[in-house]
Structure 1
């Protein structure tokens, strides 16, 4: 059987090597448009700063390696230009020479391409770059010489953020430009704020809610009326599936232009399969078609499509989109859907924010992980986000596993995790998120969000901060709150009418939950806990903190 694979990076090469492991008889041919196969495209930004010192470290396997080890016919600099479905033939352009080949099975691993916005003057400039492959990286590296002082990065998603960090580490001045009202749009705004602060701390100039209208030499004109000087521009304004050749061949694509596939990755043509960034997948939470262009799923697709072609059963479950990004000393990760998406879907959901140490607080080096859990009235976990200096990946990986296998919030405290003071806490941040969510589900606690506080203030609620007076002096107090330390609540409780509406807060929400329970157990019925408490509120509204 002759199996032709179009695209030789993550998904395509994963498919090719798995196919060979399953059979020595198949003829496997891989066509790659560029000069490199099996390269680490996720590592490209880190060569800019020489965090990854040598370009060769980004090349996982060469075409020659793959030929000798796996007996795979790898052809680089070869672009497949046409698919003749009726005759099961493809047309290939190599060195301006056209070739036609027959296939028994065709796998499209076409990947994705950067979205290039329509900007006046863009195509007349020689200082505009993108970063998707090694030739792009070579182009950037050859231009980033001593004459370059300032660089603008258009797009504050994963690639834009990673490029920004590595440009700063290289010594450039960076302007980051993002069309939406926040960086990292996959996160909710309060979770992205901590990363915004980290970028600002490292001298990144951030411009959100705007984009580039016009480029004229080294001046960028933004649609908000500002102009920015930049010696170079790197565009990272999103990606789109490379499905043009599939569309031209009449294969079915979704509204997002991703190729539609079945459980076995078959397209609308039973002899053609598609995998990786180019396909439309079903999201487990929304049950809708979407694009999830991530390396993990792409590599899994490659293995699974090989199994399917050889008649083996595969799982290929709906996807949830789990991702992480490093930003200087912090990292941010997410899984499932965010709160913006939950609102758009009209779901009835709850949100909790927790601040917990990544390992035992008394062991040196403990840092807090800020976590957001999104869950339904029935306890189904639909999304999670985390930001912190350490331990973020572990917690989101745990919650991604919980979502994937449909655990509920009351299952989270049941997770048995490794514990010793240098590695974790007896109550892990994931356990704590579960406990807090369980209290919400069972109406043992009622929380309000940071952006709802003003409404309760206007309605005359009594606002009580239960931190110590020393903490208040050191960190300040949210405007309108009075300070009654937790240990003094019982001393003052008879002075407060039981029909008073009360909002309680502390540093993170844990002590204020204890205060909430004290009030409730003493006959108060309208008591709410400020979710995330002072830590979250001051992150979003520092101007409302009184010191």
Structure 2
């Protein structure tokens, strides 16, 4: 059997390696138009910033290594330009000589990955304007910075790569302006969590321009000098010695189109759970292929190296007679933004509502470990289905511990956990690593109480929306006078918890009450007290005053 793989990063090399492990007799050839293979694309920003010293650390394996280890022929500098599914051949161009040749296959694996989206802007092809997709890009950016002594950069786009590049350029002493067309950085998250990323960028002196578009890039043959933001007539030019375009990626579909495979609704190649396309003997893996959402079952496309590796292995197994199948994705991801880990898994609140779920939403603010051992706040936003109690998604942001908690929650979602199950997880405890009741435990307890108990929650967004719609709501601050002096929810009354039982008569029992404290625990105590005194509707403000103030600040910035 002759297997031809097009593309040699995570998915392509994983497919080739697994096929070889299953079948020693197969002839396997991998074509790659670049010169680097099996590299860590997610590590590229850290080479630019200098945290990774040499690019070799991100490209530990080369064609000779694959030949020696797996007897797989990896031909770099060779571009597959055409696919003929009738004759089962590919046409290959040797980029060094320009010559072309045909190579037959029994099974063809498309692992062509993605390309950076480059908007058709004036000046986008000027020297000093870069995308970040390959080691070649990273080498060029670092070289440009060092040769030109770049001091000012503009990063266009505030997704994963944009945020990583922003952090690394800032760490190099470069003044960074981030231009994001949407209303928040990290727009894949819900706005009330993305706003925390916005604040972290600004805390680190990043000039963050939200809801702003680039209209042109300015400069000359010697290099870029600035970026025009806003309209060409009324906009502003932001000075720049370097521009990073990180507005997104799209699947490389040229060969897929030639092969006649079906492109799915996500605009990636539609495949079955083993990577087969609907054209016989043609497979697709990694970022060029669709996956499906583990919760909804709908097609999904979230280009991540972790998913690409799995898909490659599964297809390499299937081609050689194996039974592995892809089980879907949750889009679990994490990125470091200066001092914060920013993580998510499953459905966001917005996605869950769009999918038709009646959701319960919790903002849980707890230290990642005891404060006496340096614990720092960790914010977990969790989304659950009210009808079934199933955990649907979570987002976590904190200086430490976000990675551990998001992985636990991703595992729980994968196996269909009810929120009540989270409390019963036997998680590792030591004060150097966690609290006795871990933030994951608290998340399960609070959501279960909200869904099945007597402790419903209300988010800051819902509270503001309902009050703006004219609904009468009594908002009760149950904190001490000292805490209240630090900031309040507008329109709230102050009834400290220790006085609440005696002063409950000051409230109307038939009007909805929302209690709140700093983070939510004391607010829940006040909520329980009022319900036991016969109040019909009592909600606790999700995440307390800390979460409300973060939400309010984001709203003010959005309007400014």
* Normalised-by-shorter TM-score class: over 0.9
2:140 is matched with: 139
2:540 is matched with: 529
Q: Tell me which of 352, 369, 394 is aligned to 1:359.
A: 369
Q: Report how far residue 99 of structure 1 moved.
A: 1.3
Is 1:84 equivalent to 2:91 in the alignment?
no
For the 8 Å contact 1:40–1:60, the answer to whether it is kept is: no
For 1:348 and 1:478, locate their aligned partners in 2 and report how far apart those are by CA, in whole Å: 26
For the 8 Å contact 1:479–1:544, the answer to whether it is kept is: no
For the 8 Å contact 1:188–1:340, the answer to whether it is kept is: yes
For 1:280 and 1:304, locate their aligned partners in 2 and report how far apart those are by CA, in whole Å: 14
Q: Tell me which of 215, 220, 227 is aligned to 1:220.
A: 227
Q: Tell me which of 301, 315, 327 is aligned to 1:317.
A: 327
Is 1:376 equivalent to 2:378 in the alignment?
no
Q: Secondary structure at the match of 1:246?
A: helix
- Superposition TM-score, scaled by structure 2 size: 0.94
Q: Report how far residue 430 of structure 1 moved.
A: 1.0
Q: Report how far residue 346 of structure 1 moved.
A: 3.3
- Superposition TM-score, scaled by structure 1 size: 0.96
> How is 1:385-424 mapped onto 2 (pairs within 5 angstroms)?
385-424=395-434
For 1:370 and 1:52, locate their aligned partners in 2 and report how far apart those are by CA, in whole Å: 29
For the 8 Å contact 2:373–2:431, the answer to whether it is kept is: no
**Unmatched 5+ residue regions in structure 1?**
none
Q: Report how far residue 459 of structure 1 moved.
A: 3.8
For the 8 Å contact 1:352–1:373, the answer to whether it is kept is: yes
State which drifts further: 97-106 or 142-151.
142-151
> How is 1:168-317 mapped onto 2 (pairs within 5 angstroms)?
168-217=170-219, 218-223=225-230, 225-317=235-327
Q: Secondary structure at the match of 2:436?
A: coil
For the 8 Å contact 2:170–2:176, the answer to whether it is kept is: yes
Q: Tell me which of 464, 467, 474 is aligned to 1:462.
A: 474
State which drifts further: 453-462 or 139-148.
453-462
State which drifts further: 153-162 or 242-251.
242-251
2:339 is matched with: 329
For the 8 Å contact 1:449–1:530, the answer to whether it is kept is: yes
For 1:501 and 1:23, locate their aligned partners in 2 and report how far apart those are by CA, in whole Å: 67
**Unmatched 5+ residue regions in structure 2?**
220-224
For the 8 Å contact 1:478–1:544, the answer to whether it is kept is: no
For the 8 Å contact 1:4–1:28, the answer to whether it is kept is: yes
For 2:16 and 2:439, locate their aligned partners in 1 and report how far apart those are by CA, in whole Å: 40
Report the CA distance shift for 1:495/1:142 in structure 2 as closer, same or farther (over 3 A).
Answer: closer
> How is 1:426-445 mapped onto 2 (pairs within 5 angstroms)?
426-445=436-455
For 1:392 and 1:517, locate their aligned partners in 2 and report how far apart those are by CA, in whole Å: 30
For 2:108 and 2:302, locate their aligned partners in 1 and report how far apart those are by CA, in whole Å: 22
2:483 is matched with: 471
Q: Secondary structure at the match of 2:476?
A: strand
Q: Secondary structure at the match of 1:259?
A: coil
For 2:509 and 2:272, locate their aligned partners in 1 and report how far apart those are by CA, in whole Å: 60
State which drifts further: 530-539 or 255-264.
255-264
For 1:194 and 1:495, locate their aligned partners in 2 and report how far apart those are by CA, in whole Å: 36
For 1:438 and 1:93, locate their aligned partners in 2 and report how far apart those are by CA, in whole Å: 60
For the 8 Å contact 1:259–1:278, the answer to whether it is kept is: yes
Q: Secondary structure at the match of 2:373?
A: coil
1:39 is matched with: 39
For 1:238 and 1:540, locate their aligned partners in 2 and report how far apart those are by CA, in whole Å: 27
Q: Runs of 4+ in structure 1 displaced over 6 angstroms?
A: none
Q: Report how far residue 296 of structure 1 moved.
A: 0.8
The Cα offsets for residues 381-405 of structure 1, whole Å up to 9 and x where unpaired, read as: 2211010000001111111111111
Q: Report how far residue 115 of structure 1 moved.
A: 0.7
For the 8 Å contact 1:370–1:386, the answer to whether it is kept is: yes
For the 8 Å contact 1:149–1:173, the answer to whether it is kept is: yes
Q: Report how far residue 497 of structure 1 moved.
A: 4.1
For 1:229 and 1:346, locate their aligned partners in 2 and report how far apart those are by CA, in whole Å: 46
The Cα offsets for residues 198-233 of structure 1, whole Å up to 9 and x where unpaired, read as: 110111011111221112212322235333121211
For the 8 Å contact 2:274–2:325, the answer to whether it is kept is: no
The Cα offsets for residues 321-351 of structure 1, whole Å up to 9 and x where unpaired, read as: 1000000110110111212222333332121
1:4 is matched with: 4
For the 8 Å contact 1:538–1:544, the answer to whether it is kept is: no
Q: Report how far residue 544 of structure 1 moved.
A: 10
For the 8 Å contact 1:466–1:511, the answer to whether it is kept is: yes
For 1:526 and 1:159, locate their aligned partners in 2 and report how far apart those are by CA, in whole Å: 45
Cα RMSD, aligned residues only: 1.7
1:152 is matched with: 154
For 2:207 and 2:380, locate their aligned partners in 1 and report how far apart those are by CA, in whole Å: 26
For the 8 Å contact 1:354–1:370, the answer to whether it is kept is: yes
For 1:315 and 1:367, locate their aligned partners in 2 and report how far apart those are by CA, in whole Å: 40
Q: Secondary structure at the match of 1:221?
A: strand
2:222 is matched with: none
